[in-house]
Amino acid sequence: MQVVVNNQDTHHHHPHSSSSSSKEKSTTFHLLCKNHKLYLAPMVLQSELAFRLLCKKYNQNIITYTPMISSKKFVNDKTYRKHHFQTATGDRPLIAQFCGDNAATLIEATNLIKDQIDAVDLNLGCPENIARKGDYGTFLLRNTKKVVSIVKEMVEALKPLPVTCKIRLLEYGNHIPEFQRGLAGTIQLCQDLENVGCSMICVHARTRHNKGRKISQADFDAIREIKNNVQHIPIIANGNIASKEDIIDCYKLIGNIDGIMSAEAILGNPTLFEAIEYNNENNIMMFNNTKVGQHHMPSEIANEYIDFAEKYPPFDIMKIVKPHVYRILHGLFQYDEKLLERLQKCKKDLNEYKIIIQDAFALEQKLLDGLNKLEHYHGIVGKKNEMKTKFISTLLSSYYYRHRPKNVLPEKIQKVLMMRQIIQNDDDNNNMNIDDGSKNTLLNTDLQQQHQLQGGGKKLSQHERRMQLKEERQKWMEFGVRISR
């Protein structure tokens, strides 16, 4: 059973007039949250209209956010406002996220679009240095009393529009006052936000230092404790979601959570939510059996995104479209370094990206053909669909795992080298029938290359071994790092 809320009906009965009570709006929003358990995260320049609609094409039953918007610029600059807030039919339910440290400005910015959104969110999670300069995002959490005061003003001024917050865990350290330190401080903050009328809190269960190459597992235990102490408003979990299986596991593991949000994983795989549905009667997250076995190759998804980008053009192709294509195709670059180099040269013409995607499609066909040969190589003929599913899943989760240890395992490098060898042989018109002799040749070639990666026989420490593997990955990632910034 798949629970779907009729967005059009929600809009028609969604109270925005001054005569509507706060209680009515709160009830409507909580009903919305009750029936929508999946959330597309707010991401700077990346959760724009075209991408939101792409994700909703694969699962309409999700709540999406705008990219993080500067409240000050939104109020003062009409061009900025036009560029950073787009909406269209099918875009609801939608939450607009603003950053800033001035309640009056945040309220003024929200009032400009309040009839086009279902809630407004205060960004308290951005960990980047630009947020430090502007005293917003996670840096605003250093003064929790100010945060609570801002949210209280927003709630009072914007009634009946719901006000929500997206936070990170507060930092640990004896230099920080106890009331705003660590998990206990985070729980206190969430309780204070609930008391002043915040309608929902999304918790990214990492601190501001836990990002990029320093990233580690999100703390689901912390989210569970927060929910145990904040029971009257929805608490959404963010972190550790790399696959559809992780969504199910997260919901089971935390147990009492009200929803799950994805950011990095869905950038690489916009179909992430496709096979997930929520059973409201039994309060369980489950797979939709009619969709769980569907395969979408990266080039297919990238083409879909370009279609939406043509229909709803983002204001900056280089800063928005190019990173999306890069992230969706990320898993293919390890098999063809030149594909990434060609993408790096793309500018403002969407047709250039279409050509790259066509090249990606051709590469995928070679990889699938190579996968068939790899089945014979491993002697596991008959498991074609299973291997294909796992392989596509690996391609689509590649961007999420770029900073995580799973991406530098020796056996993964060996398989990549093996597939590249097969592709190279095909390109040289030496189509292989992988008999015992060529199996040994291929295996020896791959093991020699892996042996070189691991130090040529020298016993390396775990750190040295990872550094060697990073150098190999750097060949195809060096341009991508610049694209993704």
Question: Which residue in the list 33, 126, 250, 346 is annotated as catalytic?
Answer: 126
126 is known as an active-site residue? yes
Other Cβ atoms closer than 10 A to 253:
15
b or e along 380-413 (b: 16 or more beta carbons within 10 Å of the residue's beta carbon)?
Answer: eeeeeeebbeebbbebbbbbbbbeeeebbeeeeb
User: Taking a C-beta distance cutoff of 8 angstroms, is the pair 226, 190 a contact?
Assistant: yes
Cis peptide before 42 (omega within 30 of 0): no
122/167 Cα distance (integer angstroms): 9
Distance CA 50, CA 242 (A): 22
Q: Which residues carry out catalysis?
A: 126
